[in-house]
Copies of this chain bind each other. A is one copy, B any other.
Amino acid sequence: MKKQQNILVIGAGLCGSLLALRLGQRGYNVTVYEMRTDLRKTDISAGRSINLAFSDRGNKAIKLVGLEDQVKELCIPMNGRMLHDKESNTFLSNYSGRDYEYINSISREKLNSLLLTEAEKYDNVAIHFNKKCNSVDFENTTAHFQDYITKEEFIEDADCIIATDGAGSALRKSYYLERKFLFSFSQNYLTHGYKELSILPSETGDYKTYKNALHIWPRGDFMVIALPNLDGSFTVTLFLSYAEGEYNFNNLTTPEIVTEFFQKEFPDALELMPNLVKDFFENPTAPLGTVKCSPWHYKGNTLLMGDSAHAIVPFYGQGMNASFEDVVEFDQVLEANKDADWETIFTAYEKTRKKDTDAIADLAIDNFHEMKDHVGQAIFQEKRKIEMALEKEFPEDYSSKYSLVTFNENIGYREAMLKGRAQDKAILKMLADGVISASDDIKDILDKVKIETEAILDDHKVAGLR
């Protein structure tokens, strides 16, 4: 009965194209409007392609739509963090003590293209490009678009509208500006911005540094990271304060000072990047923001999904994974409420999902500090060493916060956060107090960590307010 209904999806990025595909598979009539041009028809030079971390939560969604094998071909496994210090020493820190747990580097463009092509195979799915949504009349369930090429403006009607139009969502803006209901909303920027750079392939087309890792140059207040691409290049990202510190985006204004900065802080990276200065001044500096809001839906008319509802900073590698998990959760709500109206479905979806997207937003900011700073500190390294040993020796009994978030797609982000933070606190406290050390019997450590973690979780419950 619901299958006759027409769904308008705003935005054909990763979340929108996956959503369109899944709704198409469920038999809905789906019309998608995307403001950009069709990325399958444009040429993006190889070294500049943007890659993303793809892990188990994202893969759960890909399995749902039956594309696991095809996506696997796009993936480059990254087994751990390769840390680079200022003396160009490297140290590989695995993401998990379990060999089969790793994350992947994947091309945004290739993955998005695959999802678009698969979605379009369904007769009941239509995707239109170069159509920008300017606003949504959520009372009347209509959206206002403009065609980028013809400049023509038009209004589209639907039974319901789902906005997957990213951090700058037109629907969210309409919720905020119309003031027709109490809309809680936050946008929070870090003091740091980012700039993408690249390590190009060697002359023989090979990777210039170790392929199967996420490279990090942690420097306390700033950092560089690099993720591999299929063509032998790496996409490199500099995360740096706009205005603070000796070097910052505001004062890196000449080739000389940029080179000096890299020479001093990232000498081994500089050696791999003869193209540094060109990249630096050609590529934009972009801000890092977190968006949260509530409610996501207006009655049964409109719904925010993906980044439009919860944009996060990239430091947990979970942005795409969280948006894909939105589609899985939405699909489960649809399945469990087959005869329900859209308002019931949207309400149930937000109720089950929002606590988890709030949690990954906070976790992503935690990880900013962990990546640029803590990974270089002795006590955090000792904690990590212990956690690797625990995961290796007791694969069924222990998962670090990172593993809970990244590899345990059957628990929600919020549960992963609460348990993971309590574990971190327990281990750091016991290390600081000399109650455990990395050389202790590992079973003894496991028992102590479990008891202390439970005690911390209990304390939180007693305190109530926090």
- Assembly CA distance A465 to B183 (angstroms): 30
Complex partner residue of A462 from B188, B374, B428, CB under 8 angstroms: B428
Task: Render A177-221 as a binary contact track against B, CB cut-off 8 A, 1 for contact.
Answer: 000001111111100000000000000000000000000000000
- Indicate if the CB atoms of B187 and A184 lie closer than 8 Å: yes
- Indicate if the CB atoms of A429 and B463 lie closer than 8 Å: yes
Cβ-based interface call for A44 (8 A): no
Residues of B within 8 A of A185 (CB): 185-188
Cβ-based interface call for A454 (8 A): no
Residues of B within 8 A of A464 (CB): 369, 374, 428
Residues of B within 8 A of A186 (CB): 184-188, 292
The smallest beta-carbon distance between A178 and chain B, in angstroms, is 14
Residues of B within 8 A of A188 (CB): 184-186
The smallest beta-carbon distance between A455 and chain B, in angstroms, is 10
The smallest beta-carbon distance between A288 and chain B, in angstroms, is 9
Taking CB atoms and an 8 Å cut-off, the chain A residues in 433-466 that contact chain B are: 459, 462-466
- Indicate if the CB atoms of B184 and A465 lie closer than 8 Å: no
- Assembly CA distance A463 to B292 (angstroms): 25
Residues of B within 8 A of A465 (CB): 366, 369-370, 374, 421, 424
- Assembly CA distance A432 to B458 (angstroms): 10
- Assembly CA distance A227 to B231 (angstroms): 71
The smallest beta-carbon distance between A183 and chain B, in angstroms, is 8
Cβ-based interface call for A425 (8 A): yes
- Assembly CA distance A421 to B459 (angstroms): 13
Residues of B within 8 A of A366 (CB): 465
- Assembly CA distance A292 to B374 (angstroms): 28
Taking CB atoms and an 8 Å cut-off, the chain A residues in 385-440 that contact chain B are: 421, 424-425, 428-429, 432
- Assembly CA distance A49 to B425 (angstroms): 50
Cβ-based interface call for A287 (8 A): yes
- Assembly CA distance A187 to B293 (angstroms): 9
Given A182-B287, A287-B182, also A462-B432 (CB < 8 A)? yes
- Assembly CA distance A292 to B188 (angstroms): 10
The smallest beta-carbon distance between A228 and chain B, in angstroms, is 28
- Assembly CA distance A457 to B339 (angstroms): 52
Given A429-B459, A459-B429, also A466-B421 (CB < 8 A)? yes
Q: Could you name 10 residue pairs across A and B whose Cβ atoms are closer than 8 Å?
A: A182-B189, A182-B287, A184-B186, A184-B187, A184-B188, A185-B188, A421-B463, A421-B465, A428-B462, A428-B463
Enumerate the 7 nearest inter-chain pairs by beta-carbon distance, A residue then B residue, closest first: A186-B186, A182-B189, A425-B463, A184-B188, A432-B462, A184-B189, A366-B465
Q: Knowing that A182-B242, A428-B462 touch, tell me 14 more A-B residue pairs with CB under 8 angstroms.
A: A182-B189, A185-B187, A186-B187, A186-B292, A366-B465, A369-B464, A421-B463, A421-B465, A424-B465, A425-B462, A425-B463, A425-B466, A428-B463, A432-B462
